[in-house]
């Protein structure tokens, strides 16, 4: 079965063509435009990127091509880019790279595997502009590494003043714990 792929382009608010329709996906996420072009050479998710990723400012003031990007997603005010070589880049909404972590730094942590955010086996969370948490699920329950965004180093223990776990911080309440409690169960046609 052949795969049907719809391609999109960008136009200005006046309807002027900005790009040809070459993108399979265009999204706005956390202050970034994330544009994905299909990779015609894609054969295996471990050898080649599924698509080519471009980050851009919504107003077009900057554009960055992410070489060998496996996946990217927002993490607070930053874009996290996971590369085919397991390196991690943290991008700012100004188009500047905040930090780069070589894939070799994660070899022991990933145990010969690749970043797989889609199944939540390893996820990078930016706590603030200084520290990011790398949470990895495995057969033993998981491990956390700490990325020093200012110095580009990976730490086994959290920096002074930071909690051991990403969610353990009284200054950042867990919104799920604050959700309202309903006295009645609501059904499609009304409350019961």
Q: What is the pLDDT of residue 39?
A: 83
Average pLDDT, the chain: 78
The pLDDT tens digits of the residues spanning 6-20 come to 899 999 889 999 899
The pLDDT tens digits of the residues spanning 87-129 come to 899 999 999 999 999 988 888 777 777 766 555 556 788 888 8
Residue given tokens 């894609």 in the structure block: 42
What secondary structure does DSSP assign to 31-98, as a single string? TEEEEEEE-TT---TTTS-SEEEEEE-TTSS-EEEETTEEEEEEETTEEEEEETTS-EEEEETTS-EE
The pLDDT tens digits of the residues spanning 149-170 come to 999 899 989 999 898 887 765 4
Q: What is the pLDDT of residue 47?
A: 64
Q: What is the pLDDT of residue 118?
A: 52
pLDDT above 90 covers a percentage of the chain that reads 30
Instruction: Inform me whether the pLDDT recorded for 44 exceeds 50.
Output: yes
CB 156 within 8 A of CB 147: no
Report the predicted TM-score, pTM, of the whole model to 2 decimal places: 0.75
More confident position, 4 or 12? 12
Residue given tokens 């996820």 in the structure block: 123
Give phi and psi for 119, each to the nearest 5: -105, 15
Confidence of residue 186 (pLDDT cuts 50, 70, 90): very low
Q: Is residue 142 classed as helix, strand or coil in its secondary structure?
A: coil
Q: What is the pLDDT of residue 172?
A: 47
């Amino acid at each position: 079965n052949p795969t049907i792929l719809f391609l999109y382009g960008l136009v200005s608010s006046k309807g002027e063509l900005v790009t040809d329709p070459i993108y399979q996906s265009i999204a706005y996420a956390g202050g970034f435009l994330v544009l994905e072009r299909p990779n015609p050479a894609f054969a295996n998710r471990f050898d080649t990127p599924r698509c080519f990723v471009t980050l851009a400012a919504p107003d077009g003031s900057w554009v960055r091509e992410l070489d060998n990007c496996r996946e990217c997603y927002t993490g607070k005010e930053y874009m996290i880019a996971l590369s085919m070589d397991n390196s991690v880049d943290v991008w700012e909404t100004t188009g500047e790279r905040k930090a780069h972590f070589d894939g070799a730094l994660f070899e022991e942590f990933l145990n010969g595997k690749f970043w797989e955010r889609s199944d939540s086996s390893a996820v990078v969370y930016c706590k603030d502009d200084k520290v990011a948490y790398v949470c990895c699920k495995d057969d033993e329950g998981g491990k956390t590494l700490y990325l020093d965004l200012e110095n580009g180093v990976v730490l086994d223990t959290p920096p002074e003043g930071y909690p051991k776990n990403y969610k353990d911080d009284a200054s950042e309440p867990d919104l799920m714990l604050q959700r309202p409690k309903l006295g009645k169960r609501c059904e499609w046609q009304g409350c019961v």
